[in-house]
């Protein structure tokens, strides 16, 4: 989406082979840098590379995120949550966003820019069996507002907003959905709880990110955009 709008896109991830492949697919101008978002050292390195090669950064999408289900041992229910697993999820989803904002501000403060933090609907409502994910996403939602206010107070012309996706069909769902018939049943049961009746696609989030990154949203900062098929619009506990 950003490439097609003429942006030079720097892709970062832990998955170097996939990242390089993606930046090739996107074509020029696009580039891949390794970045573990929880490492301040690596943010510093990437910041230097961007400054050296491009001299500025206009947009940061803080998109890296984990549920912890694959990456840690868990469990993640409120009564039994494992502290190391909780910490790991927060390091990526919460510390990663904080570090991204910190270094983006340094790169953007002369010329202005936009930061978009990909939080989640779980940053707005609780998830009883994914407490670390929900808490870490609430952290990135709130940090967005602090960053927005800080940049406005300083007169930096940097806007910062959060996006709250839900039920977007990406590899993040693979482990939760299972395979074969079980997957089909799970998808159907989840879709029954989505007002629009189906999963969203990555492009649905990309349109939101593009809007919040460009001049069309020049008067919008510190706000949150739900991209969730209507899930957050209501509650299952409908009054009779």
**Positions marked active-site:** 133
Q: Which residue is nearest to ligand NAD (CB)?
A: 65
Write down the least CB distance from residue 174 to ligand NAD, Å: 9
> What are the angstrom distances between the C-alpha of 141 and each of 93, 137, 232?
11, 6, 15
> According to CB under 6 A, which residues from 100 to 159 bind ligand NAD?
118, 120
Any residues with CB less than 8 A from the CB of 131 and at least 6 apart, and which?
Answer: 76, 77, 78, 81, 86
Residue 114: closest CA among 197, 2, 235: 2
**Neighbour-count burial of 232, counting CB atoms closer than 10 A to its CB (0-12 exposed, 13-18 middle, 19+ buried):** middle
Binding residues for ligand NAD, rule CB under 6 A, total 21
Write down the least CB distance from residue 57 to ligand NAD, Å: 17
Distance CA 181, CA 54 (A): 49
Q: Which is nearer to ligand NAD, 107 or 219 (CB)?
A: 107
Residue that has been written with the tokens 């500025």 in this structure: 56
Write down the least CB distance from residue 19 to ligand NAD, Å: 8
Q: Does 46 bind ligand NAD (CB under 6 A)?
A: no
Q: Which is nearer to ligand NAD, 113 or 165 (CB)?
A: 165
Strands 224-227, 158-165: pairing is parallel
> According to CB under 6 A, which residues from 153 to 212 bind ligand NAD?
165-168, 170-172
Q: Does 38 bind ligand NAD (CB under 6 A)?
A: yes
Q: Does 63 bind ligand NAD (CB under 6 A)?
A: yes
Residue that has been written with the tokens 């049961």 in this structure: 189
Can you say how many angstroms the Cα of residue 139 is from the centroid of all Cα atoms in its chain? 12
**Segment contacting ligand NAD by CB under 6 A, of 29-37, 50-58, 105-113, 142-150:** 29-37
Contact residues for ligand NAD (CB under 6 A)? 13-15, 35-38, 63-66, 92, 118, 120, 165-168, 170-172
């Amino acid at each position: 989406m950003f490439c097609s709008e003429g942006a030079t896109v720097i892709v970062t991830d832990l998955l170097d082979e996939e990242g390089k492949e993606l930046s090739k697919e996107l074509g020029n101008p696009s580039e891949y840098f390794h970045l573990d978002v929880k490492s301040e050292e690596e943010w510093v390195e990437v910041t230097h590379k961007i400054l050296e090669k491009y001299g500025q950064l206009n947009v940061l999408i803080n998109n890296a995120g984990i549920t912890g289900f694959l990456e840690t041992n868990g469990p993640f229910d409120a009564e039994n949550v494992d502290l190391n697993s909780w910490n790991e999820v927060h390091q990526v989803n919460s510390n990663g966003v904080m570090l991204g904002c910190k270094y983006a501000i340094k790169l953007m403060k002369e010329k202005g820019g936009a930061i978009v933090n990909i939080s989640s609907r779980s940053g707005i409502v609780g998830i009883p069996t994914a407490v670390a994910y929900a808490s870490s996403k609430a952290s990135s939602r709130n940090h967005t507002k602090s960053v927005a206010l800080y940049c406005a107070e300083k007169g930096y012309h940097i806007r910062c907003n959060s996006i709250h996706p839900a039920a977007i069909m990406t590899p993040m769902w693979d482990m939760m959905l299972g395979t074969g018939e079980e997957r089909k049943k799970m998808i159907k049961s989840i879709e029954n709880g989505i007002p629009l009746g189906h999963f969203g696609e990555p492009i649905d989030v990309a349109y939101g990110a593009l809007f919040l990154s460009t001049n069309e949203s020049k008067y919008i900062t510190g706000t949150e955009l739900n991209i969730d098929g209507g899930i957050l619009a209501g509650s299952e506990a409908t009054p009779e």
